[in-house]
């Protein structure tokens, strides 16, 4: 069942429920009111007739003599008057409207009148007509000598109630039908943006055309906001899809070069290895080995970024940051190739971190500094500044152009100077470094002057050092 149909049914059901309750209450109120008004009229008529009747018992026989005045009440259609003697219940007088018939009696009503001295209602039949009868005691002195019965047919009241019931039913059916049609139309209009979203999403799923957008209706209600949010999501997906395509293209390009070099060198060794001098064979093997190492670094960085995109969890535990910096310093001196590597200042710093990732971060920064410093030095430092630990890697290398600084943390981005100076880079190291820093809640920044060197600064919060070991999911 569609949402549109469910909404229409819900709206219609609510209206029908309200109409049923309203109609029932109205019908019951009218029923009670009409019956009560008719009862009051019958009782008033009985009181009036009882007051107008002259009754006297016969001195010789004791039989009740009734003198009925000529009153208009007897001439009303559907109204019947009858007087019965109290002890014998025999009819001593009746209105002409009864003809040869008698008003039915009811002993329970007679007993209630005798007991309380007040009138009482009951229902009976005159022929085939249902009447409401009121019994009024007739007094001579303080003695009840007779009973005045006034009956009235409520057929007109019941006919009115029947017409009212039919009118309420027809009105309810018409209102429910109209409400269903209106609810169907309103729900269709309200859900139109959702239908557009569905169609657009289906078209995108079939064509991967993330450049498509929903038409802006100008509405600022919830559905309008949904359309705006959906367009924002499409823009984000388009950007992510384009980045993925660029990533695949760049990865393929970066892998193609070392694979081609390794393949060419190995093929040359395979075909002419016996003919080549020893030094040339070693050079070919060295070149193939270097390209293989470069390809290994590239694959390692790609794996790190893939794990980052997949939401890899970092296992954080108490870590001595100064000890990790000293380990990297020892390894960097071996790889320095004549570049001076030194530690300027180092504070003792402990924080909650993933030691393997933090060491990888520092190695990336130091390796970059060494690779792009033809001559000069690389300086490391670690300071504790309030709630932050600051790691700095400074070099006197080729530097970075001002226009390239905002892009150096992008994947596969390499500056023109960097490509000219070294072909060993992959363009992924700083992207991995930024991910590691962000997963530890820190920040990374770079200051550089072209031709004079660069300073990369990492800020890591020390408040993560409280509370023991825990894991953090990467974004």
Q: Which of 276, 38, 266, 75 is nearest to 156 (CA)?
A: 38
Mean pLDDT over the full length of the chain: 78
Mean pLDDT over 445-461 rounds to 91
CB 137 within 8 Å of CB 150:
no
CB 422 within 8 Å of CB 372:
yes
Check residue 226 and report its DSSP letter.
H
User: What are the residue boundaries of the structural domains of the chain, listed by start?
Assistant: 3-159, 313-473
CB 458 within 8 Å of CB 444:
yes
pLDDT for residue 444 is more than 90:
yes
> How does pLDDT run across 208-221, given as a tens digit for each residue?
777 777 666 666 67
Q: Regarding the domain delimited by 3-159, which CATH topology (the fold level of the hierarchy) does it fall under?
A: Beta-Lactamase (3.30.450)
Q: Which of the four pLDDT bands, split at 50, 70 and 90, describes residue 291? A: confident
The pLDDT value recorded for residue 445 is 92
What CATH architecture applies to the domain 313-473?
2-Layer Sandwich (3.30)
Q: Cα separation of 224 and 211, whole Å?
A: 20
And the tokens for 219? Answer: 């509405």
Q: Cα separation of 234 and 200, whole Å?
A: 10
In this prediction the pTM is 0.48
CB 372 within 8 Å of CB 395:
yes
Q: Which residues pair with 146 in a beta bridge?
A: 85, 138
The pLDDT value recorded for residue 425 is 57
> How does pLDDT run across 382-401, given as a tens digit for each residue?
999 888 999 999 999 888 88
| DSSP helix/strand/coil, 161 | helix
The pLDDT value recorded for residue 380 is 93
> How does pLDDT run across 245-260, given as a tens digit for each residue?
766 776 676 667 677 7
Burial readout 257-270 (b: 16 or more C-beta within 10 A, e: otherwise): ebeebbeebeeebe
> What CA dihedral angle connects 407, 409, 414 and 418, to 10 degrees?
100
pLDDT for residue 184 is more than 80:
yes
> How does pLDDT run across 94-126, given as a tens digit for each residue?
777 777 777 888 888 888 887 777 888 888 777
pLDDT for residue 470 is more than 60:
no
Check residue 405 and report its DSSP letter.
G
Mean pLDDT over 248-276 rounds to 74
> How does pLDDT run across 320-365, given as a tens digit for each residue?
999 999 998 888 887 777 788 999 889 999 999 988 889 888 988 9
Lowest mean pLDDT among 82-86, 136-140, 247-251, 368-372: 247-251
Q: Pick the more confident residue, 145 or 36.
A: 36
Q: Which of 318, 326, 329, 386 is nearest to 352 (CA)?
A: 318
CB count within 10 Å of CB 353 equals 30
Q: How far apart are the two ends of the chain, measured CA to CA in Å?
A: 38
CB 269 within 8 Å of CB 285:
yes
């Amino acid at each position: 069942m569609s949402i549109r149909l469910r909404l229409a049914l819900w709206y219609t059901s609510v209206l029908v429920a309200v109409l049923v309750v309203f109609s029932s209450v109205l019908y019951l109120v009218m029923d009670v009111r009409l019956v009560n008004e008719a009862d009051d009229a019958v009782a008033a008529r009985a009181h009036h007739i009882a007051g107008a009747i002259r009754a006297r018992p016969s001195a010789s026989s004791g039989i009740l003599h009734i003198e009925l005045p000529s009153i208009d009440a007897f001439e009303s259609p559907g109204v019947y008057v009858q007087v019965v003697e109290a002890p014998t219940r025999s009819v001593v007088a009746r209105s002409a409207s009864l003809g040869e018939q008698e008003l039915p009696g009811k002993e329970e009503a007679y007993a209630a009148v005798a007991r309380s001295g007040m009138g009482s209602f009951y229902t009976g039949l005159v022929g085939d007509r249902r009447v409401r009868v009121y019994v009024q005691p007739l007094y001579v002195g303080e003695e009840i000598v007779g009973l005045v019965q006034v009956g009235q047919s409520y057929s007109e009241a019941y006919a009115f109630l029947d017409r009212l019931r039919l009118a309420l039913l027809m009105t309810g059916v018409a209102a429910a039908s109209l409400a269903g049609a209106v609810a169907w139309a309103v729900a269709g209009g309200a859900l139109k943006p959702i239908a557009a979203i569905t169609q657009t999403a289906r078209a995108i799923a079939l064509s991967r055309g993330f450049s498509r957008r929903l038409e802006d209706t100008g509405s600022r209600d919830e559905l309008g906001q949904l359309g705006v949010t959906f367009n924002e999501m499409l823009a984000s997906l388009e950007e992510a899809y384009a980045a993925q395509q660029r990533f695949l293209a760049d990865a393929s390009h970066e892998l193609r070069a070392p694979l081609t070099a390794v393949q060419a060198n190995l093929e040359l060794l395979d075909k002419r290895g016996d003919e080549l001098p020893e030094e040339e064979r070693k050079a070919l093997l060295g070149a193939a080995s270097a390209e293989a190492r470069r390809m290994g670094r590239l694959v390692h960085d790609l794996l790190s970024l893939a794990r980052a995109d997949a939401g890899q969890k970092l296992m954080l535990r108490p870590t001595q940051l100064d000890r990790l910096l000293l380990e990297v310093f020892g390894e960097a001196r071996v790889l320095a190739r004549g570049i001076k590597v030194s530690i300027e200042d180092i504070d003792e710093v402990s924080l909650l971190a993933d030691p393997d990732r933090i060491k990888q971060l520092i190695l990336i920064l130091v390796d970059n500094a060494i690779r792009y410093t033809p001559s000069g030095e690389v300086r490391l430092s670690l300071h504790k500044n309030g709630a932050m630990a600051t790691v700095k890697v400074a070099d006197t290398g080729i530097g970075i152009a001002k226009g390239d600084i905002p892009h150096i943390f992008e994947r596969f981005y390499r500056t023109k100077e960097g490509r000219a100076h070294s072909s060993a880079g992959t363009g992924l190291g700083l992207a991995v470094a930024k991910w590691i820093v962000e997963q530890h809640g820190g920040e990374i920044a770079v200051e550089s002057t072209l031709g004079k060197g660069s300073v990369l600064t990492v800020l890591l919060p020390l408040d993560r050092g409280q509370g023991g070991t825990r894991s953090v999911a990467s974004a």
